[in-house]
Amino acid sequence: MFCIASFIILSIIAIFNAAYRDLAREAYDCVFRRITFKPCNTGFKEKMKAKLSGQLLNRSVRAARFFNHHFELLSWIFFILTIGSIFWTGKGLFNFYMYGSCNGLNKSGFCALDPKGENNKVSQAGGSCTSGTGDESKVTLNGVNTSIFPSINIGAKDSVVLIGCYSCDYTRKAYPTIKKLITENKVNYTFAHYPVKEETLYLLPIGYCAYKQNPTAYWQLNDQLFENSKEDIAKREFVDTLLQKNGYDIEAINSCISSPEAQSAVVERRIELEKTNIYGTPLLFINNKGLVGPKPYRVYERILKGFKFW
């Protein structure tokens, strides 16, 4: 077992340090002979045992004696730890590639490849931006009436539902990636504005009325609200200029947003969104599978394609 563990470790070290390549070759020879049921004729095990014992002897005679006496047991422990490290490292790399997190989909634990946890951060209700304190496993579309939100239904078998905030840094980060996803794939798409900051609350009835007046122009307006600065979209006069550029009748919009119908629709949409157990944005559902926080494009695409995960 010592030969196998040494071969793995020395092979990795030898990539960066040529001084260890001879030892790596000896370790390989020893491993090859072991798996072919032949004894090691290189004396690799004895050589390494002597080297390590000598190093320990310079520090502690007792430690060197213990190491020499329990060398076989320590070799097994070292082997098990090596295999375990390789397994967990491999699993972490796989999870990061597939999910954007070393710990799995929507898992916000520490990841060396994403140390700041950017792929899982959300803007929470109340305006704080964190890695999220909700339960990712409980987000759901079950029982949610998505038909009351702006949608593009092309009769596709796949569906994408984005719940986001125009002034949320993480929704704004994810939006171009999600737009690319729905542009490059045949999907039914639904967008729901869930403001986590007070300055964009006023956009709720405007969004409802804009979609009602001109559903086609609404999607251009939606893009512009994400593309322009957070400071600009917090100003009603700026949003009015966007409405005018997209051909909207401002007077009709103003009349609509003050109507009981619009106010009732805003409340109804909020009630439906709360059923998803949302605790922050962005929250994306791909074929009813929830993803919290901005993910790399490859994660969205693989879930859309129906890749079978562990």
Q: In the structure, what pLDDT confidence band is assigned to residue 39 with cuts at 50, 70 and 90?
A: low
| Higher pLDDT among residues 26 and 270, named by residue | 270
The confidence score (pLDDT) of residue 212 equals 96
pLDDT at residue 241 is higher than 70? yes
User: Exposure pattern of 184-201 as b/e (b: 16+ CB <10 Å)?
Assistant: eeebbbbbbbbbbbeebe
Cβ proximity of 294 and 300 under 8 Å:
no
| Higher pLDDT among residues 153 and 98, named by residue | 153
- Burial class (CB within 10 angstroms; exposed 0-12, middle 13-18, buried 19+) of 174: buried
pLDDT at residue 97 is higher than 80? no
Residue 31 CB neighbours (<10 A) = 18
Q: In the structure, what pLDDT confidence band is assigned to residue 103 with cuts at 50, 70 and 90?
A: low
Tokens, residue 292: 């919290």
CA–CA dist 276, 283 (Å, integer): 9
Mean pLDDT of 196-208: 93
pLDDT at residue 67 is higher than 90? no
pLDDT at residue 221 is higher than 60? yes
| Higher pLDDT among residues 127 and 49, named by residue | 49
pLDDT at residue 82 is higher than 50? yes
| Higher pLDDT among residues 210 and 32, named by residue | 210
Beta carbons within 8 Å of 181's beta carbon, 6+ residues apart:
160, 187, 297, 300, 301, 304
Task: Please state, for a pLDDT cut of 90, what percent of the chain lies above it.
Answer: 49
Mean pLDDT of 85-106: 65
Q: If you write DSSP's letter for every residue of the chain in order, what string do you get?
A: -HHHHHHHHHHHHHHH-GGGHHHHHHHHHHHHHHHTT---SS-HHHHHHHHHHHHHHTT-HHHHHHHHHTHHHHHHHHHHHHHHHHHHHHHHHHHHHHHSSTT-TT--S--TTSTT-TTT-EEETTS-EES--S-GGG---TT--GGGS-EE----S-EEEEEE-TT-HHHHHHHHHHHHHHHHS--EEEEEE--SSGGGTTHHHHHHHHHHH-HHHHHHHHHHHHHS-HHHHTSHHHHHHHHHHTT--HHHHHHHHTSHHHHHHHHHHHHHHHTTT--EE-EEEETTEEEES---HHHHHHHHTTPPP-
CA–CA dist 5, 10 (Å, integer): 8
pLDDT at residue 227 is higher than 70? yes
Instruction: Enumerate domains of the chain plus CATH numbers.
Output: 2-99 (no CATH), 122-294 (3.40.30.10)
Mean pLDDT of 22-51: 59
Cβ proximity of 249 and 198 under 8 Å:
no
pLDDT at residue 214 is higher than 60? yes
The confidence score (pLDDT) of residue 250 equals 95
The structure's pTM equals 0.67
Q: In the structure, what pLDDT confidence band is assigned to residue 131 with cuts at 50, 70 and 90?
A: very low
CA–CA dist 16, 275 (Å, integer): 53
pLDDT at residue 244 is higher than 70? yes
Q: In the structure, what pLDDT confidence band is assigned to residue 137 with cuts at 50, 70 and 90?
A: confident
Q: What sign has the CA pseudo-torsion 228, 233, 238, 243? A: positive
Q: Specify the range with the lowest mean pLDDT, choosing from 2-16, 38-52, 195-209, 215-229.
A: 2-16
Cβ proximity of 266 and 259 under 8 Å:
no
CA–CA dist 232, 5 (Å, integer): 60
Mean pLDDT of 43-72: 68
Closest CA to 210 of 173, 262, 166: 262
Mean pLDDT of 288-299: 90
pLDDT at residue 305 is higher than 90? no
Mean pLDDT of the chain: 79
The confidence score (pLDDT) of residue 129 equals 43
Counting every residue written for the chain, the total comes to 310
The confidence score (pLDDT) of residue 267 equals 96
Peptide bond into 282 cis (omega under 30): yes
Q: In the structure, what pLDDT confidence band is assigned to residue 309 with cuts at 50, 70 and 90?
A: very low
